[in-house]
Chains A and B, each alone.
Chain A
């Protein structure tokens, strides 16, 4: 079987080809053919992704040794010719590790981080009963362009994280492609929509397999562009274009941070290579400049803040729900918004060392994540739009992932990314199905009682809700529990605040999802007309996602359960990098925490049931109590962040800024332009009279005059008398003869 690991560029290339095909021939080929092209392309990509994942698993199980390993490390280390001894040292260390048994003496290792790393691997290996050597990712690069001595590369990097992202993106994208054939049926811009879906999938795949930060930036911007285009899909309504613009501009704020962060890390790591592993190795090397790393990581986190909807740049995400629902499922729940989380996971060494995740008391990433998760969860309660509830839920869950990465629980964060993609996509597609049935409304006040009309949608929505709430044994339970365990145990010191925020969110998540569920599916139908179940093309993707939401959690079954080693912590084993990766702790499964979070989730669901279905509890509190009313208004206005951004920051800056710009334009720029024009006018007058008229014309006229005068003079010689000519000729002959005789 050919190795696909070093040819993964094929996968985004297939999607890009699909994009071009649809773009140029979609309109002519018709909607059926368009959808078929898209679906076929994603299916091919999914097959490739599965093969890539399989080959990666094989690689972890049978790690390369000897010269093959050395070659892989050389490829992976960004090929920095300036530091061959470092690379050689690592090759030595790695081949050393793989060659010896897990009880081996690691103290002899001169490479500090690799030593720690190997020690961690050792423990890990004991747990699993199998050695887990350092497996370098498969990196293949080509020169993109060169500036001076710096070789800017484009390439692919494949490891467990990449393979996991490939599969996630491809599955969700495939289901969304299928689902959209019905959801977007008869849409005026059907081909446009499918072209963008293909382009988005291509960009996202390109992004996750980037081998360097520059390439990641390109992919990052491309997915942002697709997000913009798809949010504004129905651009006839101003609300939608405003949402698209808001998403784009809010992301620009964070992207500036990303660009600066990429630049800083590039220069910090010796200004030789953008290679991700090179930067990670630099961050771990101990010789790293901690100030540069801190600033670089903070700037990169700015990009994460906007793309992954972290406080305070999350405001675009709920508005992005203006796009078609399948788009919300694909882009604004499962894949694009986790690009930021992926960035942290990919450049984990930079964040780990730069922001002191394992050591200091400066819990920036964890705090922002934790704050976002609580804040987003609270906002979800006051939304009446089903999709907006899910959007705030997404913000909240993204906060969870960032918090997990912030407390050092890398695997937990990435695992939550993985499971969340499936059940959140299921919820969004379910919401789309509901809206399809209820005359395209998302207002939960016009729904109710839908369980009687839409069996499949109801069951799958319920499963996904329970998974999101974290009910045992669904997918969400395992990933959320790992995050909480990570927060409880932390790296070196416990993250109590993050644990509390996580638990509060667990309760809130269950409660607001319960609210959405009961308002939508129970009670009496409050809309008009009769709702109907969606066709198979919608329900089958829902079922697939629901099944994923049930079973995917077992991929990372904690070792606590005494299951055979091939069944536990598979996700951690295969996805967590073992190369250029900080030595993170792996939190133990904590029974009391799991029970507590489950109790909280059940309590949240129960509260929602009692309040919204049984109509018990303090209804109308907001009318009676001023404090409650104030709180409700505060939430309803989304903490006034939008007001702050548009009315205060934007309005207060754009007036003076515009006036200042106008003044500069009138006085400075126009002055410069006018002055330059005057000077040039004068100068050209001088040139006209002095040079053109006098010199150039003088030369031309003089030449003419001279030829005329000389002609006038010489014409006298032409008498036309033959004998005169002959006389001159003979005179000449006489002279020449004289010369011949007397001189020569």
Chain B
């Protein structure tokens, strides 16, 4: 089995995610980009898990790890969306550049 395709796919997804995090001003889109990054990692985990345990198909540690990441990502998005909602309620904006109270 070729791992390269999965790794390429993961790398591309990661780059798109990073680009989204750094460039998009909309906080919801930033959160979605973070999801992309996490999912690229999941692809890597599943791919490497399948590769390392090709002879032992009962061992699903890579896949299980991915499931954990999905669960954590769900929680993260829950908290993130709640924060975004509160920011919007207070400032009537979800532009990341408007949230600059820590400016020195």
Which of A's residues lie within 8 Å of B, judged by CB? 714-723, 726-727, 730
Question: Would you list 27 pairs from A and B whose C-beta atoms are within 8 A, ordered by A residue?
Answer: A714-B104, A716-B104, A717-B104, A718-B102, A718-B103, A719-B100, A719-B103, A719-B104, A720-B99, A720-B101, A720-B102, A720-B103, A720-B104, A721-B96, A721-B97, A721-B100, A722-B96, A722-B99, A723-B21, A723-B22, A723-B96, A723-B97, A726-B21, A726-B22, A727-B22, A730-B18, A730-B22
- B18 A715 Cβ-Cβ under 8 A: no
Which residues from B are CB-within-8-Å of A718? 102-104
Q: How far is the CB of B52 from chain A (nearest CB, A)?
A: 21
Q: How far is the CB of B32 from chain A (nearest CB, A)?
A: 14
CA distance A721 to B30 in the complex (A): 13
Which residues from A are CB-within-8-Å of B18? 730
Which residues from B are CB-within-8-Å of A719? 100, 103-104
Which residues from A are CB-within-8-Å of B104? 714-720
B99 nearest in chain A by CB position = A722
| 0 or 1 for each of B63-104: is its CB under 8 Å from A? (1 = yes) | 000000000000000000000000000000000110111111
Given contacts A715-B104, A721-B96, A723-B21, 17 further A-B contacts (CB under 8 A): A714-B104, A716-B104, A717-B104, A718-B102, A718-B103, A718-B104, A719-B100, A719-B103, A719-B104, A720-B100, A720-B101, A721-B97, A721-B103, A722-B96, A722-B99, A726-B22, A727-B22
Interface residue ranges of B20-63 to A (CB < 8 Å): 21-23, 30
CA distance A730 to B17 in the complex (A): 12
Which residues from A are CB-within-8-Å of B30? 723
CA distance A718 to B100 in the complex (A): 9
Which residues from B are CB-within-8-Å of A723? 21-23, 30, 96-97
CA distance A691 to B43 in the complex (A): 69
CA distance A723 to B99 in the complex (A): 11
Closest 9 CB pairs of A and B: A718-B104, A720-B100, A720-B103, A715-B104, A720-B102, A727-B22, A723-B22, A722-B96, A723-B96
Total number of residue pairs linking A and B with CB closer than 8 Å = 33
Q: How far is the CB of A516 from chain B (nearest CB, A)?
A: 111
CA distance A513 to B100 in the complex (A): 120
Which of B's residues lie within 8 Å of A, judged by CB? 18, 21-23, 30, 96-97, 99-104
Which residues from B are CB-within-8-Å of A715? 104
Q: How far is the CB of A711 from chain B (nearest CB, A)?
A: 9
CA distance A648 to B101 in the complex (A): 99
Q: How far is the CB of B86 from chain A (nearest CB, A)?
A: 15
CA distance A386 to B76 in the complex (A): 119
CA distance A682 to B25 in the complex (A): 71
A727 nearest in chain B by CB position = B22
CA distance A381 to B30 in the complex (A): 130
Which residues from B are CB-within-8-Å of A727? 22
B101 nearest in chain A by CB position = A720
CA distance A721 to B22 in the complex (A): 11
CA distance A719 to B18 in the complex (A): 20
Which residues from B are CB-within-8-Å of A714? 104
CA distance A718 to B104 in the complex (A): 5
Which residues from B are CB-within-8-Å of A722? 96, 99
Q: How far is the CB of B74 from chain A (nearest CB, A)?
A: 22
CA distance A226 to B99 in the complex (A): 94
Q: How far is the CB of A702 from chain B (nearest CB, A)?
A: 24
Which residues from A are CB-within-8-Å of B22? 723, 726-727, 730
CA distance A47 to B29 in the complex (A): 113
Which residues from B are CB-within-8-Å of A721? 96-97, 100, 103
CA distance A715 to B99 in the complex (A): 17
Which residues from A are CB-within-8-Å of B23? 723
Q: How far is the CB of B21 from chain A (nearest CB, A)?
A: 6
CA distance A722 to B30 in the complex (A): 11
CA distance A730 to B97 in the complex (A): 18
Q: How far is the CB of A741 from chain B (nearest CB, A)?
A: 14
Which residues from B are CB-within-8-Å of A720? 99-104
CA distance A250 to B23 in the complex (A): 109
CA distance A717 to B96 in the complex (A): 17
Which residues from A are CB-within-8-Å of B96? 721-723
A725 nearest in chain B by CB position = B102
CA distance A556 to B98 in the complex (A): 124
CA distance A720 to B104 in the complex (A): 7
CA distance A717 to B103 in the complex (A): 9
Q: How far is the CB of B77 from chain A (nearest CB, A)?
A: 17
A715 nearest in chain B by CB position = B104
Most B CB atoms within 10 A — which of A717, A719, A723?
A723
CA distance A721 to B18 in the complex (A): 16
B104 nearest in chain A by CB position = A718
Q: How far is the CB of B20 from chain A (nearest CB, A)?
A: 10
B25 nearest in chain A by CB position = A723
CA distance A714 to B97 in the complex (A): 20
CA distance A447 to B2 in the complex (A): 148
CA distance A721 to B96 in the complex (A): 7
CA distance A507 to B69 in the complex (A): 133
CA distance A723 to B100 in the complex (A): 11
CA distance A730 to B37 in the complex (A): 13
Which residues from B are CB-within-8-Å of A716? 104
Q: How far is the CB of A674 from chain B (nearest CB, A)?
A: 61
Q: How far is the CB of B34 from chain A (nearest CB, A)?
A: 10
B24 nearest in chain A by CB position = A723
Q: How far is the CB of B47 from chain A (nearest CB, A)?
A: 19
A714 nearest in chain B by CB position = B104
CA distance A718 to B101 in the complex (A): 10
CA distance A722 to B21 in the complex (A): 10
CA distance A730 to B14 in the complex (A): 12
CA distance A316 to B93 in the complex (A): 111
CA distance A727 to B18 in the complex (A): 9
CA distance A717 to B23 in the complex (A): 19
CA distance A491 to B12 in the complex (A): 134
CA distance A718 to B18 in the complex (A): 21
Q: How far is the CB of B19 from chain A (nearest CB, A)?
A: 10
CA distance A715 to B100 in the complex (A): 14
CA distance A715 to B102 in the complex (A): 10
CA distance A716 to B104 in the complex (A): 6
Q: How far is the CB of B91 from chain A (nearest CB, A)?
A: 13
Q: How far is the CB of B22 from chain A (nearest CB, A)?
A: 5
Most B CB atoms within 10 A — which of A715, A721, A730?
A721
Q: How far is the CB of B42 from chain A (nearest CB, A)?
A: 19
Q: How far is the CB of B68 from chain A (nearest CB, A)?
A: 22
Which residues from A are CB-within-8-Å of B100? 719-721
A719 nearest in chain B by CB position = B103
CA distance A547 to B27 in the complex (A): 125
Q: How far is the CB of B81 from chain A (nearest CB, A)?
A: 16
Q: How far is the CB of A717 from chain B (nearest CB, A)?
A: 7
CA distance A715 to B22 in the complex (A): 22
CA distance A345 to B67 in the complex (A): 113
CA distance A719 to B97 in the complex (A): 10
B103 nearest in chain A by CB position = A720
CA distance A720 to B98 in the complex (A): 9
CA distance A726 to B12 in the complex (A): 19
CA distance A722 to B33 in the complex (A): 14
CA distance A718 to B103 in the complex (A): 5
Q: How far is the CB of A500 from chain B (nearest CB, A)?
A: 117
CA distance A637 to B58 in the complex (A): 136
CA distance A726 to B100 in the complex (A): 14
Q: How far is the CB of B103 from chain A (nearest CB, A)?
A: 3
CA distance A723 to B95 in the complex (A): 11
Which residues from B are CB-within-8-Å of A717? 104
CA distance A714 to B22 in the complex (A): 23
